[in-house]
Structure 1
Amino acid sequence: MKLGDVSGLFINLDRSTDRRAKMEDALARFGLDKVGRFSALQGDDRKRGITRNELGCFLSHQAITESIGDDRHFLILEDDIRFPEAFGDYAGHALAGCEQEDWDVLFLTQMISFTDVKSIYTLLRQRRQVGDIRSPSFTRFATHDCKNIFASCTAAYIIRAGSAGKVASILRKMAEHDYPCAVDIAHMRAINAGLLKARYVFPYLVGLDPGVRTTLTDRRDEGNHQLFVDIANLFAAGGDLD
């Protein structure tokens, strides 16, 4: 799989013009010409178990997933990701053999629970085994099963050709039950229940931009957002040490 050949969309609020410009610049720089912009949907007052902003995020991912044909891989991005300088080289190595593996969704970054010592230990061990993930010449990417380690994050993922209907069905069921959880939690529950096969690239192919504030400002754990971002970036290829 060559990422430059994969169609996709990045989710961006109309008011977030700076983020849009930054994303479009990065996409052009790395040859992701088939990735366009999706105008993020807003949450409303429908019955739901999540916040209004979480609903807007859910609806955006759901709308994109419903629109994908099953004949192609599809890349979905959020506008707060950070591309490493060596992203072009990294992507070639990270995705070279992934089509031989069994997955419906491939996460290019993820968040784990910072209270889950086992998950943190697993990632620290993986990082130690592969060497210097900060090096621009790093090549030792691999993918791993998300089950019982993925906690959240829909910032960057690929839906495999033939799997969009499965993902859409999972999100549709959540909608029918009045959106009991955020979209990334819906993914996590489906993964752990064996309803969705998912893998994550390690080290992560993209990081999360620590310089932007989450748009999920009404989320219950918003105060921990920076902590989640910093932990995720510990395992991102080519990231800095800030």
Structure 2
Amino acid sequence: MARALRVFLWRLERAQGRKVGTCTPCDSTAPSRPVYFFSMHTLNGFFINLDRSPERAKQMRAELDARKLGFVERFAAVDARTLSQPPACKIPMAAYGAFLSHQMLITQTPPDSVTLIFEDDMQVSDSLAGMLSPENLKILAELDLVFFDCQLYINFNDLLLRYWEVKRGMPNPRSAGNPESQQRHAPQVGLGEASGAYCWGASAYLVTPRGKEKLGPILQQTLDRGPPGTLDILFRNLIESKALDARVVVPFLATPRLDGLTATTIDGRQQDFLPFALCSMVRRLYFAGDLDIDGMIEFFAPASSGPLPKTEDEMMVELIRQLARGLVHQRDFLDFGI
């Protein structure tokens, strides 16, 4: 049985000392399999996987089963290689296929259900199942989207605030008497407003009946226009325009696997490695689960030793890089052991 999780609603204004959140204790536990009923809604879940990626499916199935999320099913992803590119499409075809896959899950699952959606390269926290209790789902059903992971804006003030929220939600793994089984386990999480925090990422999230009702026509209209951008950027625009009420879970309850970061299935994706590595490391820092620090050091090594890109503010770039190197090599900090 999954351990129950306490869910806290909070906003960035807490930093100024204003009371804006509520605490909802949860005493019941969430079962590890099939369907939960609450307020006439059901819970289902899917991970998106291409037929030509059976090893990813096998890994993700094992990950979900180990985290007591066995009810999450595989969903056959739309393979963009079988499609013709729409004339107005402004994104790579693989990203177009991903957009269609997410749209199908959002619009074709029962409209009164709460749906978990994962990409197939995710590492999942053992705390996530405990968040899915009837009490917590009643809270989540009042929102549109809840992200279990995302790329945060690289803003030092906001990152520091969320770091302390992580520490509040996750016990110190090096404290005396803390059993190994509970290291980096989150008995409580915060639900922070996505506006101003969510930069991109649609790898692990929850969509509610409210969210489905809003997103259905928007997704179709966006597809009819190209689409002009990727799904996660559409999410960000909708969040910032207040068209969607979304939250980000802190600590994160999912994060991309390190091998997935270096082996994308999105053909044609191009990005500079240095900023990508920095962002990926920050993203992983907020995860309530095994960090795989040795793997992180290996992953980040090319970024920490390679040449810097030319920029008008090379000193700031160097400062960020040296900070990142310090985070990687000071294992106690990475492991929240301070």
TM-score range for the pair, normalised by the shorter chain length: 0.7 to 0.9
What CA deviation, in whole Å up to 9, does each residue of 1:140-182 have, x standing for no partner?
3121110111011111111113431212222122112211110
Query: Which one has a bigger Cα radius of gyration?
Result: 2
**Quick check: 2:255–2:287 contact (8 Å CA) kept in 1?**
yes
User: Which runs of 4 or more aligned residues in structure 1 lie more than 6 Å from their structure 2 counterparts after TM superposition?
Assistant: none
Q: State the partner residue of 2:23.
A: none
Is the CA contact 1:111–1:232 (under 8 Å) kept in the aligned structure 2? yes
Query: Counterpart in 2 of 1:100?
Result: 139
Q: Which one has more relative contact order, counting CA pairs under 8 Å at least 6 apart?
A: 1
Unpaired runs of 5+ in structure 1?
Answer: none
1:215 aligns with 2:253: no
Instruction: Kindly indicate whether the alpha-carbon contact (under 8 Å) linking 2:211 and 2:244 is maintained by their aligned counterparts in 1.
Output: no
For the aligned residue pairs, the C-alpha RMSD in angstroms reads 2.4
Residue 116 of structure 2, aligned match among 54, 75, 82:
75
* Aligned partners of 1:207 and 1:239 also within 8 Å: no
Tell me the SS of whatever aligns to 1:181. coil
* CA spacing shift, 1:191–1:60, aligned 2, 3 Å: same
Instruction: Please say if residues 10 and 35 of structure 1, whose CA atoms lie closer than 8 Å, have aligned partners that are also in contact.
Output: yes
Secondary structure of the structure 1 residue equivalent to 2:111: coil
CA distance in structure 2 between the partners assigned to 1:123 and 1:63 by the alignment: 33
Contact 2:149–2:252 under 8 Å retained in 1 = yes
1:143 maps to which residue? 191
1:237 equivalent to 2:288? Answer: yes
Match of residue 56, structure 1, among 97, 100, 111: 97
- Cα distance in 1 for partners of 2:253, 2:194 equals 15
Question: Contact (CA 8 Å) 1:210, 1:226: kept in 2 or not?
Answer: no
Deviation at 1:51, TM superposition (A): 1.3
Query: Structure 1 residue 93: deviation in Å?
Result: 4.7
Query: What is the TM-score of this pair, normalised by structure 1?
Result: 0.87
Alignment TM-score, normalising by the size of structure 2: 0.64
Match of 2:163 among 111, 118, 124: 124
Q: CA deviation at 1:7?
A: 1.0
User: What residue in structure 1 maps to residue 149 of structure 2?
Assistant: 109
Aligned-partner Cα distance in 1 for 2:116–2:164: 28
Find the aligned partners of 1:64 and 1:138 in 2 and give their Cα distance.
28
Change (3 A) 1:127 1:63: same
Is the contact between residue 146 and residue 191 of structure 1 (CA under 8 Å) also seen in structure 2? yes
- Number of aligned residue pairs: 238
